[in-house]
Amino acid sequence: SCISQSEQGSHKTSIQGGEDFFRGVLESMQSVYLNRNPTAKAILDLVHSVDNNSLCYDHLAFRTFGVNGYGIDSMASFFLDYGYTQRDELRFPGKKLRALWFSPPDDSHAGTGSGINGPLPRIFISELLVDQMSPKTQEIIKKYTGSSGTGNKYAALASSLGLLTWEKPLYSEFQQLASESEYAAWTLVNGHALNHVTISTHRLKTHLRDINKLNQFIEENGFRLNSEGGVLKVSPDGLLQQSSTVADSVSFQFSDGLTESVPCSYIEFAERLVLPQYKNLPETEIKEFHRRDGFEVASADKIFESTSKEQLNRV
């Protein structure tokens, strides 16, 4: 099963009694995600059937509207309260987005389970730079965040229940946002829902621990991978390798009664290679902290496209 740094016994968790509650919330977020996204569910089942009980999550990701208290902080506060630490900022000027990632506290239960019950994942939260949008788009976003009242205080609750904190939009409003920012349109209809979970491939035990093998296995089983900039996204140092599926679609009933298909969530895979200074460590001694940490802006920029029309409509 999954082994983490905390098993060395050097640190005690900072969330203690709250850990079961915290994991319960993550489990609810995951269950909303699995119910809405058959591809993610099928792939998790498939990987599980080959590589039993060593499935660990590298990170979970969320999207937000960076306006009036609805940005990164609205979701981050939950993770910060449960012991996470804010790490680096990533900027995406072309997409008018920014993101922060958060590292987990040492977790006492790590190694006792898989998935959400394994080592706590990193958290990646992005936000749309709303003030850089056109007046029309800004007006729509402010209309819905405004209709939410103090919903920004309950982002994590909304995510775990699978509810929007704002009213459902008109289809024309969704289309206006989509014409300017597919990220904005996605966030309007998916709200705080989990955008993706990421399987940590190097922590698998079979041949699937090689991300290229896993990608091949996923495609052989009939699932489509996001091909933007090539299927495999590799950081300049070569040590962070990522790939993702094309998002599922879900039928969404807009407030004007129109029911249309909208992009939902996807699943990602990440392989973190051992840092050069630890390359001589025996395989059995390698822990997560010996590996490449963090995220990579150029790769992330392409992974965002997993929910784009271009990827969804590809044949």
Residue from 228, 268, 288, 305 binding Ni ion (CB under 5 A): 268
With left for phi above 0 and alpha for psi between -120 and 50, is residue 50 left, alpha or beta? Answer: alpha
Q: Tokens for 93?
A: 């000027």
Dihedral pair phi/psi, residue 8, rounded to 5° = -70, -15
Nearer CB in complex with ligand OOG: 166/183 = 183
- Contact stretch for ligand OOG (CB under 6 A) within 23-31, 65-73, 156-164, 293-301: 293-301
For 201, other C-beta atoms within 10 Å of its C-beta total: 25
Q: How far is CA 151 from CA 55, 69, 144, 179, 273, in A?
A: 33, 10, 11, 26, 40
Candidates 14-22, 28-36, 93-101, 264-272 — which segment interacts with Ni ion by CB under 5 A? 264-272
CA distances, 209 to each of 30, 55, 261 (Å): 22, 10, 34
Residues 265-284 that bind ligand OOG (CB under 6 A): 268
The stretch among 92-100, 133-141, 192-200, 247-255 that binds Ni ion (CB under 5 A) is: 192-200
Could you give the CA distance from residue 244 to residue 74 in angstroms, rounded to a whole number?
26
CB of 163 to Ni ion, least distance (A): 23
3-state secondary structure of 209: helix
Q: How far is the CB of 146 from Ni ion (least distance, A)?
A: 30
Shortest distance in whole angstroms from residue 307 CB to Ni ion? 12
Does residue number 301 form part of the binding site for Ni ion (CB under 5 A)? no
Q: Kindly indicate which of the ranges 12-20, 66-74, 215-223, 295-303 contains the residues binding ligand OOG, using the contact rule CB under 6 A.
A: 295-303
Task: Confirm or reject binding of residue 239 to ligand OOG (CB under 6 A).
Answer: no
Comparison of 140 and 267: residue with beta carbon closer to Ni ion? 267
Q: Is 304 in the site for ligand OOG (CB under 6 A)?
A: yes
The helix (run of H) or strand (run of E) holding residue 241 is strand 240-244
- One-letter identity of residue 315: V
Q: How near is the Cβ of 63 to ligand OOG at its closest, in Å?
A: 5
Residue nearest to ligand OOG (CB): 300
Would you say 45 and 223 are in contact if contact means Cβ atoms under 8 Å apart?
no
Q: What is the DSSP letter of 140?
A: H
Identify which range of 56-64, 85-93, 145-153, 273-281 contacts Ni ion by CB under 5 A: 56-64
The rounded distance, in Å, linking the Cα atoms of 143 and 157 is 21
**Residue 196 DSSP SS3:** strand
Closer to ligand OOG by Cβ: residue 6 or 299: 299
Q: How far apart are CA 261 and CA 259, in angstroms?
A: 7
- Residue among 23 and 196 whose Cβ is closer to Ni ion: 196
Tokens of 181: 């920012």
State the Rg of the chain over Cα. 19
Closest distance to Ni ion from the beta carbon of 128 (Å): 17
Longest CA–CA span in the chain (Å) reads 62
Among the listed residues 54, 128, 295, 311, the single contact to ligand OOG using CB under 6 A: 295
Q: Which helix (H) or strand (E) holds 128?
A: strand 122-128
Work out what residue 95 binds among Ni ion, ligand OOG, none; the CB cut-off runs from 5 to 8 Å by kind.
none
Smallest distance from the beta carbon of 196 to Ni ion, in angstroms?
6
Chain residues in the site for ligand OOG (CB under 6 A): 61, 63, 124, 126, 195, 242, 268, 295, 299-300, 303-304, 306
